[in-house]
Chain A
């Protein structure tokens, strides 16, 4: 399947709609993430924007989007500047590559990509942030990250579904 074929079959959003989708994701990241926390699970709307952006724009676009959104996340979370930028750049690039090589048209694949991306991002950020403190990494990655990933995938999928209507 060529890229254009895959893109066409996905019923991709128009540029305007996608910009609105991204803007809503960023607003939700600023305003709603705390409110939508469900027990240990917290959604990551910045990551949702990154995954769909990388799928839309490919490896280079995904890397650029990832860097920008990563800086945004770093500023938002007051984490060391560059941690999320690094992780999201790598993720954006990887997702863009995947989109160029795989047939990605099913909504469930999108959900799996969002969940998988969240886990990978957590690994990168946690390794950077924990600085070798394995106990902290273990607690966060094995107990909180899976819940975060599943919850983010569900909310991201629902949001995208709303925009695809």
Chain B
């Protein structure tokens, strides 16, 4: 019986309160709004300042997070833009360079590279389908990069000038004289120009491909003489340390020289390529862009015949 009374009591209380709620809900809108606002102000006004502070703090925190995210995004965009700008500059220079050449230059993008201490090969995105064959020179607007080694349908492996098997017949332009030699990399990554002992050369002298050897046409810049040494073991050779023109780490695009060479022949009869700043003076008895009648000692020094012509 007491339990029944208690249940009745709780239901009566709940029923009464539900009724009160319904009466409140049934009030006219204006009355209801006025009542709600009165209670709202009475409840919240004492806490308004604290609430505003909390809201401000939370707002500041969110603002801070948003700004941080924006700064991060802006930094990323900035670095991406710098990379794009550098690439655009390279492509712009390449674009201006290609039309001046008497040979067909096939543009290619570097799509892969080896990550050894010294990079020795690149993968480019053109291959047989674009007319590429083995042993074609690969250059940038700065100079020689290397030559094609293996050619696939749509990609080719490029032997860089740092490759242990790379060698190129070279011509040193010494202002009033020319010297012929061979350029080869050392295992330490330096590029050396091997010249006969009595040759004369000095720091700053420019070095281009000589056109002898079958792979590279005459006049592609290789670099500058950075230092002059003598071969101390034999004392028969002069060795110049070459500062390469092309920084391989920065190469993202290059050209393949599609002017083919006849196997066993010389690339020297290709009309001289034009690299600004690398024009060399004419020499008596030798026309620019033509092979001299008698090939010098370094003839055949390009990688194809490296075994025979190496000093």
Are the C-beta atoms of B43 and A34 separated by less than 8 Å? no
Q: Which residues of B contact A71 (CB under 8 A)?
A: 39
Query: A133 interface residue, CB < 8 Å from B?
Result: no
Report B205 CB to chain A, min CB distance, Å. Answer: 69
Known: A31-B51, A35-B55, A128-B25. A81 touches B17 (CB 8 A): no
Q: Which residues of B contact A72 (CB under 8 A)?
A: 43
Q: Which residues of A contact B35 (CB under 8 A)?
A: 81
Known: A30-B43, A30-B51, A35-B58. A74 touches B14 (CB 8 A): no
Nearest B-chain residue to A72, judged by Cβ: B43
Report A89 CB to chain B, min CB distance, Å. Answer: 4
Supplied contacts A60-B9, A78-B37, A82-B27, 17 more A-B pairs, CB within 8 Å: A30-B51, A34-B54, A34-B55, A34-B58, A60-B10, A63-B14, A63-B17, A75-B36, A75-B39, A76-B44, A80-B25, A80-B36, A81-B32, A82-B23, A82-B32, A86-B18, A89-B17
Query: B13 interface residue, CB < 8 Å from A?
Result: yes
Are the C-beta atoms of B21 and A86 separated by less than 8 Å? yes
Query: A43 interface residue, CB < 8 Å from B?
Result: no
Are the C-beta atoms of A64 and B25 separated by less than 8 Å? no
Are the C-beta atoms of B21 and A89 separated by less than 8 Å? yes
Query: B40 interface residue, CB < 8 Å from A?
Result: yes
Are the C-beta atoms of A74 and B54 separated by less than 8 Å? no
Are the C-beta atoms of A81 and B10 separated by less than 8 Å? no
Docked complex Cα distance between A49 and B54 (Å): 22
Query: A90 interface residue, CB < 8 Å from B?
Result: yes
B residues with a Cβ closer than 8 A to A are 6-7, 9-11, 13-14, 17-18, 20-27, 32, 35-37, 39-40, 42-44, 47, 50-51, 54-55, 57-58
Are the C-beta atoms of B20 and A85 separated by less than 8 Å? yes
A residues with a Cβ closer than 8 A to B are 27, 30-32, 34-35, 58-60, 63-64, 66-67, 70-72, 74-76, 78-83, 85-86, 89-90, 92-93, 96-97, 128
Report B310 CB to chain A, min CB distance, Å. Answer: 71
Are the C-beta atoms of A78 and B17 separated by less than 8 Å? no
Report B42 CB to chain A, min CB distance, Å. Answer: 8
Known: A35-B58, A63-B14, A76-B40. A30 touches B24 (CB 8 A): no
Are the C-beta atoms of B14 and A76 separated by less than 8 Å? no
Q: Which residues of A contact B32 (CB under 8 A)?
A: 80-82
Docked complex Cα distance between A93 and B50 (Å): 34
Are the C-beta atoms of B50 and A90 separated by less than 8 Å? no
> What DSSP secondary structure best describes chain B's contact surface?
helix
Docked complex Cα distance between A117 and B153 (Å): 69
Q: Which residues of B contact A75 (CB under 8 A)?
A: 36, 39-40, 42-43
Docked complex Cα distance between A34 and B10 (Å): 35
Q: Which residues of A contact B39 (CB under 8 A)?
A: 71, 74-75, 81
Are the C-beta atoms of B44 and A59 separated by less than 8 Å? no
Nearest B-chain residue to A35, judged by Cβ: B58
Docked complex Cα distance between A157 and B21 (Å): 29
Known: A63-B13, A86-B18, A96-B10. A31 touches B36 (CB 8 A): no
Q: Which residues of B contact A63 (CB under 8 A)?
A: 10, 13-14, 17
Docked complex Cα distance between A31 and B55 (Å): 8
Q: Which residues of A contact B17 (CB under 8 A)?
A: 63-64, 66-67, 85, 89
Docked complex Cα distance between A92 and B7 (Å): 14
Q: Could you pull out 7 A-B pairs where Cβ atoms are within 8 angstroms?
A: A34-B55, A63-B10, A70-B21, A74-B39, A76-B40, A78-B40, A85-B20
Nearest B-chain residue to A59, judged by Cβ: B10
Report A20 CB to chain B, min CB distance, Å. Answer: 17
Known: A34-B58, A75-B43, A78-B37. A85 touches B24 (CB 8 A): yes
Q: Which residues of B contact A78 (CB under 8 A)?
A: 36-37, 40
Nearest A-chain residue to B42, judged by Cβ: A75
Q: Which residues of B contact A31 (CB under 8 A)?
A: 47, 50-51, 54
Q: Which residues of A contact B58 (CB under 8 A)?
A: 34-35
Docked complex Cα distance between A82 and B57 (Å): 33
Docked complex Cα distance between A63 and B14 (Å): 5
Docked complex Cα distance between A85 and B25 (Å): 9
